[in-house]
Chains A and B, each alone.
Chain A
Amino acid sequence: MRNRRTRLLAAPLLTLLGVLAFAGPAQASGESVGACMADHLEELVDQHDGDLHDVLHDEHVQDELEKCFEAPNPILPETTEIIWGGAAFLILFVVMVKKGFPAVKGAMDARAEKIRSDLDAADQAKADALAVQSDYEARLADAKSEASRLIDEARGAADQVKADLMVRHETEMAEQRERAAAEIESARTQAIADLRAEVTDIALGAAERVVQSSLDAEVQGRLIDAYIDEVAGTNG
């Protein structure tokens, strides 16, 4: 703040020094050698009460006139210029102090305030970003943890399913073996039964034919007698 004020005051001072340093000679302000000599002569005439002759013979006049041929002071401007320049400078300085400096100061303050606000906003944004990052990292950690838990659960479930399938497979295999054994035994039993029935049918068919051919009327009569005796004998 102080540096800014110093810079603001130094600007017009440097301007004044520039004016003084680079002020042109008198002729630079538009006065010619003749005019200079005329002015000096007029002034000297007045000092000698209008006697031009005395003026021309005065030694000092020559020196004064010769001054018109001398180069003006390269540093000091004309007094009027200094006055006008100083007045302008003062006016400008006053205007600058009253109007420009507050405006510049306000702009600078506003700029500084804006920069400070921007910095605060940046800090806040950074803090928010850090908070978001922290929250994101926390969520990421939670997600990783949840994913790990789900993977573990899935792996456990898969292991359980695998074990169940193995048990079921073994059970089914055992049942299939039992069924196959039962079917084989049933088929074997059925085959034996069929074979036995076939042999029985053949044997009994042959026996039936033998009986039919061998049972004549006499034998039939004896069989009926035996039947009658059987009916009578089974009483009680």
Chain B
Amino acid sequence: MANSTVTSYAEALFAIAAAEGDLSGVEEELFQFAQAFRSNDELSSTLADQSAPVSGRQQVVEDLLNGKASTTTTALVSMMVGAGRAAELPDIVDALVERSAASRNKDVATVRSVVDLTADQKDRLATAINTRTGKAVEIKVVIDPTVLGGAVTQIGDEIIDGSVRRRLNQLRESFR
């Protein structure tokens, strides 16, 4: 459960993105940046280093996102780094995604796969999940090479694992 600080920041980001009229785009860009932040230890340690000058860390953000993300997304990330909330950035973005989906009466389904899903695959998977769980979901894809193949979907506490990694683990267990 997100704490009040995370929720407050998520609400602020949601309001700013909505005010800028590009909620889905900013949300997606922040989501991708948060995934990169989680998977890259050097990036996370650099941005969360309180001993480093704020301007320097914000410059790193500018350099990373320049030309790859909207100015709103860049400004929001820079703002969180400047506020000393870089360490909480992934949780804040997750809360933002859930808040955004909730505004559309949907849940978030995080899908981890080796490759990105096509729009058709996302729609079919959302439909399949809706059929299976009765929940209307928005698909958020996280590129994860450890999955090896297939995909792993998490909706809240429920996990639907159809990865090659799971098959190999099952095979490993059957050998023992």
Interface size on A, residues (CB 8 A): 29
B148 close to A224 (CB less than 8 A) = no
Name the segment of B35-43, B79-87, B99-107, B115-123 touching the other chain.
B115-123
A211 close to B131 (CB less than 8 A) = no
Q: Which residues of A have CB within 8 Å of B149?
A: 211, 215, 219-220, 223
B164 at the interface (CB under 8 A from A): yes
B118 close to A228 (CB less than 8 A) = no
Q: Which residues of B have CB within 8 Å of A231?
A: 125, 128-129, 132, 153, 160, 162
Q: Which residues of A have CB within 8 Å of B176?
A: 193, 196-197, 200
Bound together, the chains give a CA A221 to CA B171 distance in angstroms of 23
A79 at the interface (CB under 8 A from B): no
Interface size on B, residues (CB 8 A): 26
Residue of B nearest to A212 (CB): B148
A230 at the interface (CB under 8 A from B): yes
A211 close to B148 (CB less than 8 A) = yes
A200 close to B128 (CB less than 8 A) = no
Contact mask for chain A residues 193-209; partner B; CB cutoff 8 A; 1 contact, 0 none: 10011011101100110
A225 close to B121 (CB less than 8 A) = yes
B164 close to A211 (CB less than 8 A) = yes
A221 close to B128 (CB less than 8 A) = no
B117 close to A224 (CB less than 8 A) = yes
Q: Which residues of B have CB within 8 Å of A219?
A: 149
Query: How many contacts between A and B, using CB within 8 angstroms?
Result: 76
A234 at the interface (CB under 8 A from B): yes
A234 close to B117 (CB less than 8 A) = no
When the two chains form the complex, which single residue of A223, A232, A234 contacts B127, counting CB atoms closer than 8 Å? A232
B125 close to A228 (CB less than 8 A) = yes
Residue of B nearest to A219 (CB): B149
A235 at the interface (CB under 8 A from B): yes
Q: Which residues on A are within 8 Å of B, measured CB to CB?
A: 193, 196-197, 199-201, 203-204, 207-208, 211-212, 215, 217, 219-221, 223-232, 234-235
Q: Which residues on B are within 8 Å of A, measured CB to CB?
A: 113-115, 117-118, 121, 124-125, 127-129, 131-132, 148-151, 153, 160, 162, 164, 168, 171-172, 175-176
26 contacts between A and B (CB under 8 A): A196-B176, A199-B175, A200-B176, A201-B172, A204-B168, A204-B172, A215-B114, A215-B148, A215-B149, A215-B164, A217-B115, A220-B114, A220-B115, A223-B150, A227-B125, A227-B162, A228-B121, A229-B128, A230-B162, A231-B125, A231-B129, A231-B153, A231-B162, A232-B124, A232-B128, A232-B131
